[in-house]
Structure 1
Amino acid sequence: MATLPLTGKSLRLARLSRHGDDRFLFIPLDHTISDGPISTASGFNQLVRDIADGGADAIVVHKGRARTIQPELLSRCALVVHLSASTAHAPDTNAKVLVGEVAEAVRLGADAVSVHINIGSDTEAAQLADLGTIAKASDRWGIPLIAMMYPRGPRLTEPGDPVLLSHVVNIAADLGADLVKVPMAAPPDRMVEVVASSPLPIVVAGGSGADTSVAQLATNALTVGCHGLAVGRRVFTSAAPRQTVHELASIIHGPELGSESTPQSRMAGVP
């Protein structure tokens, strides 16, 4: 990304790339609302510690979960507060609703906020309105907005279509996001078309891992010009989350920058 004048938003954007190389490794841990617990209550802080020590740039959690994290664990890892949710038990699992506000995230010391939008869902109109509302508030508070954009709905048959993904990332840009997360195109080499169409840096969703290792996914994403990866489930379900994160950080930031021993501090959040 181009160098921006010093503002609250530009300062926080810089924190989201741990090594200042405009590449990102985000670990979403917001699955606790959609699917249920991802660890024991006592083990959650250890999971966050492993993720931070492994070299992740940021974790993504909901506002209430953020309050349970030991502050020192975020000295080398940015905090993204997720503002939308749905559960696996809903009549329409694609119907995301807002469950938080930007002001709450700022009070928590967040470095960024994120929202999840399902393009093609039956509630697409309401979700687009929510994205516009959060983008306006994000600008007011000087905090970056990550739009997690997924082509999902009853009328979509090819969610990995690069033409569709190009449309999706441009919706995020037009409505005021600063970064956009989308699935990888199918086949992966056509993701280059999506990147070429996007005014925003793209991070690729981790996916289910059925066909491609997460390390290969990270390599593919960088090869086609994406700025990184946002992978949660394939980290917190792995036998060794710290090692998995370290492997990904070494790919995204380079072996030296991805080192677990690299000391890096970040300033406390400011409104």
Structure 2
Amino acid sequence: MKSRMRHFFGPDGRAFVLAMDHAALMPSPALKDPGHVAREAAAGGVDAFLATFGIVKAFSKDFGRAGIILRGDGGASALKKPMGCLEALYRAEDALRLGADAMLVMGYPGSENNEHTLGYLARLAADCDRWGLPLGAEMLPYGFEKPLGITPWSVENVAFAARQGVELGADFIKTAFVGGERFREVADHCPAPVLVLGGSDNQGLEALLHGVKEALGFGARGVIMGRNIYRHENIARVCAAVAAVVHGDADVKEALKLAGGVQ
């Protein structure tokens, strides 16, 4: 399992993963040419791709030497209102047959689908462990629900959700970067590496790089982001800038130079 983790975590223990799984749930015009996005991102230095079964099957040749993390759940659709509940779709054996290095599924503690998502997370963790395949859990307290009187993604809730994912068997965690310096509480409470998601998809590159730099400074071990990367025309340069921050500890000004004027 550790050897598979090393395919997307660098020698510094950090990872930069490009998420390409959005079109499985909602229209994603910027992903109309997955092969182009993958080739550009690979050239820019991403460590791995998070992608769906169909995209891995059709475009893995475009991933270059980067690792592959298979999205293990899905089945919901933006055409249904509300979108509906995700389902576990694939097993460890399916991922290995595609040449994937890991799998990743959602976990929504506190949400309407609490027991469902956490249940299939735990079952898949056991399945992956049997095959020596790492499993990531995207742990988002309350999912995307907005219950009245509650701050769903508070530091306390995110810290608990991340820890709960590890307790259920996840080998790495994807979650929101919250709380600034208090994010250390999330990272310190979680025995597995924590990777942060990309956040708002309309922020400029400088703001994005500042966010990555801040998250790493407060304990994150890398990032898993998508739309903030592939919405740009020059994906390779944007990836090079993010990779410089993640793996080179570059400051934001240095990283922006690598982006060559991309805003």
Q: Same fold (TM over 0.5)?
A: yes
Deviates more, 1:80-89 or 1:93-102: 93-102
SS at match of 1:163: helix
Equivalent residue in structure 2 for 1:27, among 15, 18, 29? 18
Q: Which residue of 1 aligns with 2:196?
A: 204
Q: Which runs of 5+ in 2 are unaligned?
A: 256-263
Of all paired residues, the percent bearing the same amino acid is 25
Q: Which has the higher contact order (CA 8 A, sep 6+)?
A: 1
From the superposition, tell whether residues 109 and 96 of structure 1 become closer, same or farther in structure 2 (CA, over 3 Å). same
Does the CA contact (< 8 Å) of 1:31 and 1:38 recur in 2? Answer: no
Q: Deviations over 1:228-248 (max 9, x none)?
A: 111111111122211111100
Q: Which residue of 1 aligns with 2:48?
A: 58
SS at match of 1:67: helix
1:219 aligns with 2:188: no
Structure richer in helix, relative to its length: 2
TM-score (norm 1): 0.84
TM-score (norm 2): 0.87
The runs of at least 4 consecutive aligned structure 1 residues that moved more than 6 Å come to none
Q: Give how far 1:145 is off.
A: 0.5
1:244 aligns with 2:235: no
Q: Which residue of 2 aligns with 1:263?
A: none
Deviates more, 1:79-88 or 1:21-30: 79-88
Q: Which residue of 1 aligns with 2:258?
A: none
1:180 aligns with 2:154: no
Q: Which runs of 5+ in 1 are unaligned?
A: 1-8, 260-271
1:1-16 correspondence runs (5 A): 9-16=1-8
Question: What is the aligned residue count?
Answer: 246
Q: Deviations over 1:8-36 (max 9, x none)?
A: x111011112x321101011100011112
From the superposition, tell whether residues 190 and 211 of structure 1 become closer, same or farther in structure 2 (CA, over 3 Å). farther
Does the CA contact (< 8 Å) of 1:204 and 1:221 recur in 2? Answer: yes
From the superposition, tell whether residues 159 and 241 of structure 1 become closer, same or farther in structure 2 (CA, over 3 Å). farther
Counterpart code for 1:163: E
Work out the CA distance in 1 between the residues paired with 2:103 and 2:4. 11
